[in-house]
Amino acid sequence: MLLSSRYIIFIVTSILGGIMAEVEELYNKLCRYPLQRNILTRLVVLSYNVGDLVKSVYYAIHYGEGINDPAYRGEIKCALADAYIQLLVLIKMLGFSEREIRELGANRLREFLLHRVKK
């Protein structure tokens, strides 16, 4: 069964809306603590999360059997999840919409592929 593009957009928007509502709740809880609502603190946490992701992928490639090695897959997934949620919190803290950032990022990637990647 093929789904119409409108239905797919509705589903994705609903899921992202739910995610952003959850981020809003988590953000409000974080804001109870002065250090946690500091933008620099959030950026440091994000850098730790990205570092964990790099380490996990590196270990999977050099010590395991690649990024699909089940022994490392969970660690990679957790590191991605941590970085992803920190990005969503930062988007909220900076007053942008998730959709705006996602669309800008997709456009920038398209531009990169169009003009900078050699065919």
CATH number at residue 36: 1.10.287
Q: Is residue 63 part of a domain?
A: yes
Residue-level pLDDT at 47: 95
Distance set, CA 66 to CA 6, 76, 83 (Å): 37, 11, 21
Q: Residues 79, 56: contact at Cβ < 8 Å?
A: yes
What ranges make up the beta strands (E) of 1-119? none
Q: Is residue 117 part of a domain?
A: no
Residue-level pLDDT at 115: 85
Residue-level pLDDT at 32: 82
Q: Is residue 116 part of a domain?
A: no
Q: Is residue 23 part of a domain?
A: yes
pLDDT at 55 over 50: yes
pLDDT at 93 over 70: yes
Give the pLDDT mean for 9-33.
68
Residue-level pLDDT at 57: 93
Cα distance between residue 37 and residue 31, in whole Å: 5
Q: Is residue 100 part of a domain?
A: no
Q: Residue 1: which pLDDT band, with cuts at 50, 70 and 90?
A: very low
Domain that holds residue 46: 5-94
Q: Is residue 15 part of a domain?
A: yes
Residue-level pLDDT at 77: 92
Among 109, 102, 39, 47, residue whose Cα is nearest residue 79:
47
Report how many domains make up the chain: 1
pLDDT at 59 over 90: yes
